[in-house]
Structure 1
Amino acid sequence: MGALVLTEGGTFTPPGVADFNLPPLFGSGYWGSFTKPMLLVVISLVIIVAYFMLASRKLKVVPGKGQFIAESIYNFGRNNIAREQIGSKDFKPFIPLVLGLFVFVLVNNLFGIIPFFQFPTMARIGFPLALSVLVVYPVYHYVGIKRHGFGHYLKKELAPPGIPGFVLPLYSTIEFAQKFFIAPATLAIRVFAAMFAGHLIIMVFTLGGSFLLTETDGFGLKLVSPIAFIFAILMTFLEAFIQVLQAFIFALLSAGYIGAALASEH
């Protein structure tokens, strides 16, 4: 992005894509490619595992706050995502996967509004893409092939009954691209784009407000700087909602794809 030159002050360079390319944490050498988003992924795993282990260590009939929150998250992932999307007959083996995807994406999204962390890991496309391409879609196709057999699975996905013969080549080509290339990409891009855009907007308002307050000479510009900070606060609350929503959508769609692969009819 270009710089904004004000008539009564300095030059404001708005944040852009470059601000998401964080430098290595440990300089060059073997750890030269280890960045803050990678560290946040490790921290998120430690937080998730530690929390659920502590919350389930001494289960009680009348749960405390920690156990209640853990059970609520589990029940939400089990009943509202896995069972609803996969079906009551097949959902149980996939509860850990669906719950793990939801919690993992949620924690890494929420890092974007937590002080000190202040970066949503899913704003780097490699992380949601790895979840989609290396986790969700191998499971999706594996369970479908295991349930129906390779040939019947491909027929179910690419050539379902009722498709006219003259349309079938075009339909099968589109479905093949959708099932094997487009859908994995869009599953990742959806959460990435939301996290990237939301974090960028908050950065614009925060840095813009700070610039107006400290780097400009005009009293009028300093007077309107609180408006930018107010918008930054409001956008933070909106971003928190979107972060939770995107984690839910990612897990919901993942479970839905698995349910579609297991289903007898297309």
Structure 2
Amino acid sequence: MLETGHVVAEYQAPTIEDMHLPDLFHIGSFGFGKQMLLMLLAVAVVAVFFMAAGRRRSMVPGKMQFAGEMGYGFVRNSLAKDIIGVHHFKPFVPLLFASFFFILVNNLWGSIPFLQLPTFSHAGSAYFMAGFAYLCWIAAGIKNKGLGGFLKAMTMPSGVPPAFYVILIPIEFLSNLIIRPITHSLRLFATMFAGHMAIMVAASLTAFLIQEVGGFGIVASLFSGVFGIFLFFLELLIQAIQAYVFTLLFAVYLQGAVAEAH
């Protein structure tokens, strides 16, 4: 609380409600908000960009074709081929490709003026993506190993004396089949939520010091403003890294589902 003359100004930090705006409209009990709109827009952006990039292919690619091929090659080679392996990666390239760029665009919304909302700062969106990856992983495992073989691979590590299975099976079951999708989603949600909230605090504090305090507050706002700019660029980096980390873990899970037992 700061006193300026006879007026007492109190800083009110942003809340979750300030980040999660009211729904734009309702259909019965279903609410459609800015977060859902941005997710649909992300689908359109990814689809339109890569369709345009591959529309007029040539031996000497233009800028858009070059960018599209680089993006596809990055996911195909660095995330699919290198992680899953040369013998099994091809069927999973579309999944990993779509996941990476969908998450990347949705994260980057948080750094675009006027939009400024990373959609995965909503827990439900992160849960959905992790749930989707979880179901794909289980389906791939059952298809390649059968239900019994998949459960055995997830709960009974090879090379362990059978006597230890009494302890290991419950631990491995919880770790691989229960905790894994939860941590997969929370990692994405927590970083997007915390980073965006930190930027909101820095921005609102800077505005408060300039508009409500004045005098020394204007000088102090330089520090909060510079810190806010630093957070902005740090968050920009984290947005890209989290798209990569989520997709990398997705690839690692798929690799475990199709890998041969040793």
TM superposition score category, shorter chain reference:
over 0.9
Aligned to 1:13: 12
Match of 2:36 among 35, 38, 43: 38
Residue 50 of structure 1 pairs with residue 34 of structure 2: no
**Structure 1 position 247 matched with structure 2 position 209:** no
Unaligned runs of 5+ in 1: none
Matched, 1:260 2:253: no
- Shift, 1:69, TM fit: 0.8
What TM-score, normalized by structure 1, do the two folds share? 0.93
Instruction: Select the residue among 83, 86, 95 that pairs with 1:85.
Output: 83
* Counterpart amino acid of residue 206 in structure 1: A
Correspondence for 2:96: 98
CA distance in structure 1 between the aligned counterparts of 2:221 and 2:155, rounded to whole angstroms: 56
Among residues 124, 127, 139, which one is paired with 1:126 in the alignment? Answer: 124
Unaligned runs of 5+ in 2: none
Corresponding residue for 1:225?
221
After superposition, the CA RMSD in angstroms is: 1.5
Task: Say which of 140, 165, 181 aligns to 1:168.
Answer: 165
Whether 1:147 aligns to 2:131 is no
Q: How far 1:148 moved relative to its partner?
A: 1.3
Q: CA deviation at 1:63?
A: 1.1
The alpha-carbon deviation at position 29 of structure 1 amounts to: 4.3
CA shift digits 1:15-38 (9 cap, x unpaired): 132323320112x44486111100
Distance 1:126 1:220, change over 3 A: same
Amino acid at match of 1:45: V
Whole-angstrom CA distance in 1 between matches of 2:29 and 2:209: 38
- Please say if 1:216 is aligned against 2:207: no
**Counterpart residue number, 2:23:** 24
What is the TM-score of this pair, normalised by structure 2?
0.95
Size of the alignment, in residue pairs? Answer: 259
Aligned partners of 2:18, 2:170: CA distance in 1, in Å? 39
Q: Where does structure 1 differ by over 4 angstroms across 4 or more consecutive aligned residues?
A: none
Structure 1 residue 146 displacement after superposition? 1.1
Once the two structures are superposed, what CA deviation does each residue of 1:69-123 show, in whole Å capped at 9, x if it has no partner? 1111000000010111110111011111001000000000000000121000010
Percent of aligned positions that are identical: 39
